Amino acid sequence: MLSRRIIPCLDVRDGQVVKGVRFRDHVVMGEIVELALRYRDEGADELVFYDITASPEGRSVDRGWVEKVARAIDIPFCVAGGIRSVDEARAVLHAGADKISVNSPALERPELIDELAAAFGVQCVVVGIDSLRDADGEWRVRQYTGDPAKTQALARRTMDWMIEAQQRGAGEIVLNCMGSDGVRRGYDLEQLSRARAICRVPLIASGGAGEPEHFRNAFVDADVDGALAASVFHSGAIAIPALKRYLQEQGVAVRS
Amino acid sequence: MAVVLVDAGGTNIGSVRYALQRLGADAALTADAATIRAADKVILPGVGAAGPGMARLRELGLVELLRSLRQPVLGVCLGMQLLCAHSEEGDTVCLGLIPATVRRFAERPGLRVPHMGWNGLSVQREHPLLTGLADGEQAYFVHSYAVPAGEWTLATADYGVPFSAVVARDNFHGMQFHPERSAAVGAKLLKNFLDL
């Protein structure tokens, strides 16, 4: 049986792992390779690295640390950050990343998803979606969320974009629910359930994990394939081995 | 011992190479027929689609060479699928070393395609490649097409239906998952291959 995945997310800025609250006010959490190895040892199923300032600064991800991570760890990892062409994606994949995730550049030019899927197969192509509920109750996509000064609200509805991204060749969707991010009150189960109903590829929940129960709820109630979290892991508030034992007791299939 | 990685343009070449380095084997990346023929172990990696994968092997003039190898060969992920007779992906004729047809996973409720993540291995047949592997140990899979279970199957995994996770026929071996990204389990299986 396929296990549900626990995925620590490492936001990378200037070669270090940082964490902000609601995508703002970043503090340094540690060195990239050191944290990657720590999570591998604790039983993380996969890692995601977001070069959070690459897209707002109009540059691609720094490949040096991608290769260092690839040499050091033996679990899969995905890299995101300003990848806007097949050539840039190829360089990151050749450096040793297993998947690449596109977010703002795919919103600028949706054909990028088609091109990446054609070049590398859909299994390499993750589409990250930053989503926030507007006053009218509708979830809409945000762009350039790595930099609060540059973050833009788009007219594009989250669920429409999720359907289009799959049609274009997304092999996995990471839904960052910005309204719940960093405040540890649980994943946005309402939004994730809506997404699940239209998402035929693996769906990863992001934003809001604070308690082991939140992971259980995302897996059981919203049926997501993986749950991504950052601050609860970086701070030590949740240890992955204990989290997995809890999930197993709750009947969730996890890798022990 | 000379281990070579066939440079068929796959994108997981780097990570397979690093995994071998962690086991103390420095694998050369090559598309040179003489180097491949002379190697003790040959690994055919590959992420991507069957059609472009076979087209690349044809362009490099490696199809007949790979078929004629007598040393242990390991296909990883797409590399394993290319060892088969045929793939539904792009209706592609493959190397024909394992008499199987690679088929796309049928989408069913609750079973997303691609099959992505850690899944348990179920040993079907004893083989030196599986030395030390306990039933249920998990490996990391990322694929939309799979090799059905058959006489070539050493271990299966289950995704709605059982499918081939590890195959072997004569000197040709395949792993559908990514041993280079399957933590200690993957390292053990790669080491077993190097020890064949």
B14 vs A contacts (CB less than 8 Å):
67, 70, 93-96
B22 vs A contacts (CB less than 8 Å):
74
Q: Give the integer Cα–Cα distance in Å for A8 and A11.
A: 10
Q: Which tens digits make up the pLDDT trace of A46-94?
A: 999 988 776 666 666 677 889 999 999 999 999 998 789 999 998 898 8
**How many domains are contained in chain B?**
1
- The reply to whether residue A3 touches residue B138, judged by beta carbons under 8 angstroms, is yes
Say what the pLDDT of residue B10 is: 67
- Paired sense of beta strands A99-102 and A77-80, if any: parallel
HEC string of A165-195?
Answer: HHHHCCCEEEEEECCCCCCCCCCCHHHHHHH
Would you call B192 helix, strand, or coil by DSSP?
helix
The C-alpha of B141 sits at a distance from chain A's nearest C-alpha, in angstroms, of 9
**CA distances for B47 relative to A30, A42, B94, angstroms:** 32, 28, 15
Say what the pLDDT of residue A28 is: 72
**CA distances for B17 relative to A95, B20, B109, angstroms:** 11, 5, 37
Q: Which of A1, A70, A123 sits opposite B119 (nearest CB)?
A: A1
Residues in contact with A63: Cβ distance below 8 Å, sequence separation at least 6, in sequence order = A91, A92, A95
A223 vs B contacts (CB less than 8 Å):
110
Cβ–Cβ < 8 Å for A47, A6: no
Closest to A46 in 3D by CA, of A80, A101, A5, A95: A5
The C-alpha of B43 sits at a distance from chain A's nearest C-alpha, in angstroms, of 17
Geometric angle at alpha carbon A224, from A105 and A75, rounded to 5°: 70
Q: Give the integer Cα–Cα distance in Å for B172 and A213.
A: 46
Q: Which residues of B have a CB under 8 Å from any CB of A?
A: 11-15, 18-19, 21-22, 47-49, 78, 107, 110, 112-120, 138, 140, 142-144, 158-159, 178, 180-184, 186-187
* Residue B55 lies in domain: 3-195
Question: Which is the catalytic residue, given A45, A130, A181, A225?
Answer: A130
Tokens linked to A213: 């129960």
B117 vs A contacts (CB less than 8 Å):
2-5, 45-46, 202, 225-226
Quickly count helices (H) and strands (E) in chain B.
6, 14
The catalytic residues of B are 77, 178, 180
- Check which CATH number belongs to the domain holding B184 and give it: 3.40.50.880
Q: Which tens digits make up the pLDDT trace of B57-90?
A: 999 999 999 999 999 999 999 999 999 999 999 9
**CA distances for A155 relative to A23, A131, A143, A161, B190, angstroms:** 20, 11, 11, 11, 49
Say what the pLDDT of residue A25 is: 61
A62 is catalytic: no
**CA distances for A170 relative to A59, A112, A140, A223, B12, angstroms:** 22, 10, 19, 19, 19
Residues in contact with A160: Cβ distance below 8 Å, sequence separation at least 6, in sequence order = none
- Paired sense of beta strands B3-6 and B41-44, if any: parallel
- The reply to whether residue A98 touches residue B181, judged by beta carbons under 8 angstroms, is yes
Q: Which of B47, B120, B159 sits opposite A124 (nearest CB)?
A: B47
| Residues linked to residue A50 through DSSP beta bridges, in sequence order | A11, A80
Q: What is the ipTM of this complex?
A: 0.92
- The reply to whether residue A2 touches residue B117, judged by beta carbons under 8 angstroms, is yes
Task: Report if pTM > 0.90.
Answer: yes
All residue ranges of chain A with pLDDT < 70 are 20-26, 54-61, 146
Say what the pLDDT of residue A23 is: 52
B158 vs A contacts (CB less than 8 Å):
1
All residue ranges of chain B with pLDDT < 70 are 10-11, 47
- The reply to whether residue B118 touches residue A95, judged by beta carbons under 8 angstroms, is no
Tokens linked to A193: 């359930």
Closest-approach residue (CA) in chain A for B144: A123
Closest-approach residue (CA) in chain B for A222: B110
Containing B130, the helix (H) or strand (E) segment is none
A99 vs B contacts (CB less than 8 Å):
142
Say what the pLDDT of residue A59 is: 65
- The reply to whether residue B118 touches residue A255, judged by beta carbons under 8 angstroms, is yes
- DSSP-derived letter for residue A54 is T
Q: Which of B119, B143, B182 sits opposite A123 (nearest CB)?
A: B143
- DSSP-derived letter for residue B128 is G
A–B: how many Cβ contacts below 8 A? 105
The C-alpha of B171 sits at a distance from chain A's nearest C-alpha, in angstroms, of 26
Q: Give the integer Cα–Cα distance in Å for B28 and B35.
A: 9
